[in-house]
Structure 1
Amino acid sequence: MSPLVSIDNVDMRYGGPDGTLAVAGLNMKIAKGDFCAVVGPSGCGKSTLMKLVTGLHIPQSGVVIVAGRQVTEPVSIVGMAFQNPTMLPWRTTLENILLPLEIVERHRKRLRRHKREYVEKAEHLLETVGLKGFGSKFPWQLSGGMQQRANLCRALIHEPDLLMLDEPFGALDAFTREELWCVIRDLHAEQGVTIVLVTHDLRESVFLADRIFVMSARPGRIISEHTVPFARPRELSLLYDGAFNDMVQTLHGEIASARAAA
């Protein structure tokens, strides 16, 4: 079976021919249903990788293929969630969640005639992430963690084949962050969506992912890949397991070496 995402020998430079080379010789393959994490030193190109997969950037060389098609424009089968939820303050939580349906062509055509169906789907997602009954609230009435839960619903409402998460929990306190790890864990188990998580938090990567890619310092490339051995479903008690922490330390050592080699 062909991978859902294939990145082959990609170079991406910002600022023209003499600009900053963000990634070079980047290679990665992600199968449908995978949960992958990407870690590495600051500035190594993790967010650039995300933008390449979603079609927000087109590489100067190499090929990015998503769902069998070369990426030459923004990819509609992708949902995205970032560290800042960026919810529109004049729209209710429910209206914010429905926003992608006004943009994704195959849903936009159906939205007016079948709005009740989509509202029910949004309300189910809200219930799934622990926000049942909050659809009528405005963003300013929600905590940061609640906004990020709603942000995940918005990323999933158009039934994407691929969910890209760029440091989605980095601005949250430790307890809220761990709660949302469990939300993402359960969403992945329930929906089977392919997930790529870009994160600085090595505990987060080991707890959530099935495979972890480690990037070099800029220009970024993949220097190692790890299969996470812990069975699913994973409970938060795993964070105190010796083997879990050994894997976190291994990743930490690889990233420290990559920084030193820069």
Structure 2
Amino acid sequence: MTSLLVSIENVDMRYGGPDGTLAVSGLNLRINRGEFVAVVGPSGCGKSTLMKLTTGLHIPQSGVVIVANSQVTKPVSIVGMAFQNPTMLPWRTTLENILLPLEIVEKHRHRLRAHKAEYIAKAEKLLETVGLKGFGDKFPWQLSGGMQQRANLCRALIHEPELLMLDEPFGALDAFTREELWCVIRDLHAAQGVTIVLVTHDLRESVFLADKVVVMSARPGRVISEHVVPFVRPRQLDLLYEPDFNDMVQKLHGEIATARAAA
């Protein structure tokens, strides 16, 4: 039985006061626990606004955002986030960077000092899961871009979020590294059962990773279609060359081209 984790109901969000830019209008979206949802659409369609509304970084002017049965009126503590730029603190080791959310999230902050060894062991396990075993004592400048993004995923997961929000996390990486990290996030999702929302411009990425792909209109953004991805898990990279896979990518591409033209 599926249970709803995120419900966005008829939301309007405007930046810059009453006469400012209407970023999203009449936005509706429902996400079930454990689901992997990819959000695609034209540039400026409000994908990042959707992320900020879901995490409580923005509160809508109208409509309701509900996460884990509570209306969002402030930043949501059950969320982990990873962005295109890993923003690792250069003076902290990789391990210290990963532990950073534990110093901020209230339920962990009070336990951190007394249970530090337990949290370090958890961070080391995450590093091993993403292929960075033994790199905990390295500083960010000693890691490649792809390695920093792997560490960034560990940091987003260390406080055991129920919801992981990924905003173009692989956009700055080369094609080979990107595909490696697709497999990392595929395996993390399978192992941890965390609910994931991925905002991406890469349509192949969305179809390879997601259970459901949501297409947004041009600004002001709203959901214009949702597509269930039919390919069985676990998916392997050779799926990228299958005709059915590429047909779905082309269909999404056509929808987004039409949405852009309608702007």
Q: TM-score, normalised by structure 2?
A: 0.99
Match of 2:222 in 1: 221
Aligned: 1:57 with 2:55: no
Q: CA deviation at 1:38?
A: 0.2
- Measured in 2, the distance between the counterparts of 1:74 and 1:136 equals 31
Q: CA deviation at 1:28?
A: 0.2
Match of 1:82 in 2: 83
- Report the residue type matching 1:111 in the other structure: L
Match of 1:40 in 2: 41
- Measured in 2, the distance between the counterparts of 1:111 and 1:62 equals 38
User: Identical aligned pairs, as a percentage?
Assistant: 86
- Measured in 1, the distance between the counterparts of 2:254 and 2:207 equals 14
Aligned CA-pair RMSD? 0.5
- Measured in 1, the distance between the counterparts of 2:249 and 2:18 equals 38
- Measured in 2, the distance between the counterparts of 1:116 and 1:70 equals 35
Q: List alignment gaps of at least 5 residues for structure 2.
A: none
- Measured in 1, the distance between the counterparts of 2:3 and 2:201 equals 29
Query: Which 4+ stretches in 1 moved above 2 angstroms?
Result: none
- Report the residue type matching 1:87 in the other structure: M
- Measured in 2, the distance between the counterparts of 1:58 and 1:199 equals 23
Match of 1:233 in 2: 234
- Measured in 1, the distance between the counterparts of 2:96 and 2:176 equals 28
Match of 2:174 in 1: 173
Match of 1:71 in 2: 72
- Measured in 2, the distance between the counterparts of 1:115 and 1:228 equals 41
Match of 2:135 in 1: 134
Could you say what secondary structure the match of 1:9 adopts? strand
Q: CA deviation at 1:147?
A: 0.1
Match of 2:164 in 1: 163
Could you say what secondary structure the match of 1:13 adopts? strand
- Measured in 1, the distance between the counterparts of 2:43 and 2:68 equals 29
Give deviations 1:223-256, integer Å, cap 9, x for gaps.
0000000000000000000000000000000000
- Report the residue type matching 2:5 in the other structure: L
Could you say what secondary structure the match of 1:196 adopts? strand
Q: CA deviation at 1:2?
A: 4.3
- Measured in 1, the distance between the counterparts of 2:66 and 2:81 equals 17
Q: TM-score, normalised by structure 1?
A: 1.00
- Report the residue type matching 1:231 in the other structure: V
Could you say what secondary structure the match of 2:165 adopts? strand
Could you say what secondary structure the match of 2:164 adopts? strand
- Report the residue type matching 2:236 in the other structure: E
Could you say what secondary structure the match of 1:4 adopts? strand
Match of 2:257 in 1: 256
- Report the residue type matching 2:141 in the other structure: W
Counterparts in 2 of 1:18-33, with a 5 A limit?
A: 18-33=19-34
Aligned: 1:144 with 2:138: no
- Report the residue type matching 1:41 in the other structure: P
Give deviations 1:41-79, integer Å, cap 9, x for gaps.
000000000000000000000000000000000000000
- Report the residue type matching 1:195 in the other structure: I
- Report the residue type matching 1:224 in the other structure: S
- Measured in 2, the distance between the counterparts of 1:169 and 1:2 equals 29
Q: List alignment gaps of at least 5 residues for structure 1.
A: none
